[in-house]
Amino acid sequence: MRLGLYLNLYGDTTERSSLKDAVEQARLAEQAGFSWVVLGERHLHRPGYHEILTSLTWLAAHTERIGLATAGIVAPLYQPVVLAETLAHLDVLSGGRLTAGFVLGYRPEEFALYGVGPAERVARFEECLTLLTRLWTEDEVTFDGRFTQVREAFLSPRPVQDPRPRLWNGCRVPAALERTARMCDGWTTSFNELDADLPGKIAAYRGFPRGAGTLGAEVIVCREGYAAPSSQRARTALEAPLRGLYDAYGGWKRTSADAGRYAQGWDEIVARGVIGSPAQCADRLARYEAMGADGVVLRVQPPGMPQADALRAIEAFGELNSG
């Protein structure tokens, strides 16, 4: 089972934001055999949240082998040519380690910040990924879209990976799963996707027709994760900071269809996480593999968790994965 480490990019109220901890975790994850470090995106957040593309570039410069993934970039907020060029160059600088994961976004405040109407988000998403894919794979592109038009455009340099970096999309409803199958190479689940719903959604996703030029149908399950010598030690380390994060999500997601998922009790959160002793975590990972997952992305450090606790969990998962 391939593992990804979802890095905490939240600022700290006690000091100026720094990526020092994220770099330390990424290097340890690389040594521990993780397949990817994974970054999310957030705007209008106090006390701060590191910008996703420059952070990924910084991590590329401080690692050597580990994959660099996003889950995900809010595609409707971006000018597609700028995004295509930036991500292509990141793939070049990292030696071909990029996986570009996207989401539609859900916060009205973020759309307003970028001057994007929420009603346009699906059209902007599809246009962005269409143009990005063409610029990555074609020698010359002419494109007449609703929001973007280019004539005889090309990227130089293009991405290192042949034919291009893989594309993921994070979503949960059938229409979005169909879009993922048609336009992307992998589906990343929500962190709060219920285990009971996963087999049906995996089957539905893989049952939709694949778009021309897509590179497969990966399923990447995103989960809260913490491995410790005992279940109680894992829960003790994770519970307080994770409760704080879920309380915050209740506000951020007030306009989202899955807002209620973040009001669930602690036992429910633990039940769908990869949390506990090494044996318990191994069983959970095996369960997702049996469902058809190709990888699991673990969020081991909610805001407020000490760095030392996060590093211990990364080491524990590395030992588990190599065992």
Through-space distance between the first and last CA atoms of the chain, rounded to whole angstroms: 12
pLDDT range class, residue 262, cuts 50, 70, 90: low
Partner residues linked to 218 by β-bridges: 186
292 torsion bin: left (phi>0), alpha (psi -120 to 50), beta (else): left
Q: Using the predicted structure, report yes or no on whether residue 39 has a pLDDT greater than 90.
A: yes
pLDDT over 90 for what percent of the chain? 81
Quote the pTM value.
0.93
What whole-number distance in Å separates Cα of residue 52 and Cα of residue 39?
A: 7
Question: Could you tell me if 150 and 81 are in contact, meaning their C-beta atoms sit under 8 angstroms apart?
Answer: yes
What whole-number distance in Å separates Cα of residue 291 and Cα of residue 58?
A: 35
What domains are defined for the chain? 2-322 (3.20.20.30)
Q: Using the predicted structure, report yes or no on whether residue 207 has a pLDDT greater than 70.
A: yes
Closest CA to 166 of 38, 301, 256: 38
Question: Could you tell me if 215 and 166 are in contact, meaning their C-beta atoms sit under 8 angstroms apart?
Answer: yes
Copy the structure tokens of residue 134: 């063409």
Closest CA to 311 of 191, 240, 227: 227
What whole-number distance in Å separates Cα of residue 285 and Cα of residue 281?
A: 6
pLDDT range class, residue 263, cuts 50, 70, 90: low
φ, ψ of residue 180 in degrees (nearest 5): -60, -45
Copy the structure tokens of residue 7: 């890095």
- What's the confidence (pLDDT) of residue 249? 67
pLDDT, one tens digit per residue, over 208-217 is 999 999 999 9
Copy the structure tokens of residue 49: 């949240």
pLDDT, one tens digit per residue, over 2-33 is 999 999 998 776 655 579 999 999 999 999 99
